[in-house]
A and B are shown apart, each in its own frame.
Chain A
Amino acid sequence: MLIQDLTTILARRLRPLRLLIPALSGALIFVNVAAAQGPVLNEGWELLARYLYRDAGQVFEQTPSTNTRLISLGRAASLLNEPPVTNGKIEQAEQLLHQIVTGESNDTTALYARYLLARIYHMHREASVPEIEAAYRAVLQAGPGTAITQIAASHLALVLLYQRTDLSLDQRLGLAQELESAAVGPALPEVAMSYYRLLADASLFYERVSPQVVDWLEQAHAIGSVDQLRQIDLALQIAETARAVGQAEKAQKYYREFLANAVPTDQRYNTVKLRLHELEDASS
């Protein structure tokens, strides 16, 4: 009785607000759910970033579906490495990514899905080199000037450098270098730096030490890395390569840079001092 009376009084008193209260409450719940979805999605991304693929997959499956394409991207990324990794899961991931791409404009989610499809062809299932190449080029075409393009271009460079066995070394290096404008940009400086290193390292791997290699390494060095140790390694690599191609002054400059920035306990420190002295003695 008491509850009924209370309700009647409330109904009478709050009659003017009878439409406003449900609306406000509904809005409150909506905001709660929407706000909850953000953190839940974030939890999924965080789990993925921490290598916890299965846990991430479960989170994406349970996430309320207001942005199904983004959730599908998360599920596809989780499936690629969910243990045990199977061909069935890779196929499932591929289907989810195709669904994201089909009929949609080139928004970031679609672009990333295209990129992941290229990665699946390249690293997660056996695909032919032309198929892999075409998939990366599709990403370049779909989103020029973006961070995703930068990475796709750098991976494509690797395909050209190591998997196009039908081409000569000069042709491979030439084609990989043509990707420079796509691979180097302000969105991802660390990737841009890696792109130049990939060119240099490929040339060195094929035992071609040339002034061009020194140039690539210097371009990488000019971009710079937040990782101090990476920058220090690069200075030494430039010094050693410059020395090998007879650019003694440049070699000395970068040896000195290494010695100024590396910790004296670095295993290479003393050897660098020795090699710098050798060049100094030779030039005096």
Chain B
Amino acid sequence: MPARNHKQWTSPPPLKAGEWVDSRIYSDPDIFEEEQEKIFKKVWIPVCHESELPEPYDFRTISIAREPIIVVRGSDNEVRAFLNVCPHRGMMIERRPSGSFAPAQPSGNPKHMTCMFHAWQFDMKGNCTYISREEEGYQDRLKKEDVGLRRLRCEVKFGGFIWVTLNDQIDQSVEEWAAGSFECIRGAIDTEPLQVFHYHKAIISCNYKLWHDTNSEFYHDYMHYHNRVTGFNDEYFARKNVTFSNGHVNVNSFEVNYDQYEGFESRAELSFPTFPPNQWYMIDMFPGMNFNLRGSALRCDIMTPLGPNKVMIEFRGLGLKSDSPEDRKARIEHHNSIWGPFGRNLHEDLIGVTGQGSTMQTGSEPRRILHGRHEDNLIHDEVGLRHFYEEWGKWMDRMPSDPMKKYMAAAE
């Protein structure tokens, strides 16, 4: 077909409902705000890994849906999560990304979380243990027992990741929320402890869902020279996409021929426990987390949406805690060669979504984004995208293909 005029360009494609989405879901500020309330404040989010706070009194700070969160390891070795907000005047209690509460702070005692502003102190279970000049100021009207921190539900699950939810009423455990999507790599990540060896972040001008889309479809392997030469054989094209409840997806494995890329080597000798040599599984979890095991290194992407056209992606790489220095070095090289900030593939993926973000800014003309490839659920089938947006529609009560219509009404 020749280039189209405006009417043709904006006409529905010859595909069925559910096989495209309206680009406003990637750019509309109201939809973005609604997603924070209806999705990100309701679900389990993996926020960091237990190896990032290995000792009692270690902490990490993060945020979900703009809410600041602190994760701490108690003297009982339990990991707990709280809002990182002082109940007094709303100051952020801890401002550093990580550290230890074991030493004293300028405003407070050792082994306590101290709000520097007025020196209120809290223990690792979130109890308020000290209010400066408590009786003088509050007499018997307000006591320490009244001003504990806001605790958050928290689980350590699936290879030692720390999962937190802002939703006290969530009716599923992390296990139930994952709905079986981790079974493909469970033996590999739960046989022995893992350790994070890589962390970097990207803030990209695109909607968070565009990054998740890229992680959920492999048709974009045409963009990656590395993946074309190390894959693109019969076994690659036979990889299955498998869908799970709650919007999660697996991309099943095949044997990657790493040595087909000049200078790269097989990763067979460093496969994770129980994991066949050079295999590669991917788990895409609703609403925007990704676990990606390429035999010798595990990658995890955690997204923090910052605006309709802005997302922070935290990239972690993990190996086995028991790694020898030589094995760790090799794992890191394997990880970096493809997924590091100077690696072959990640840069290309991020260029891809930046290009999408540039055409889908707030106020851009609504466009149809096609998710209509059907190939028996095989690797270039876009079933992963369709499955995600089916779930998104339910949570948002909006039709992905026409987000100003209610989900059910539009489905009729």
Q: Do A and B come from one complex?
A: no
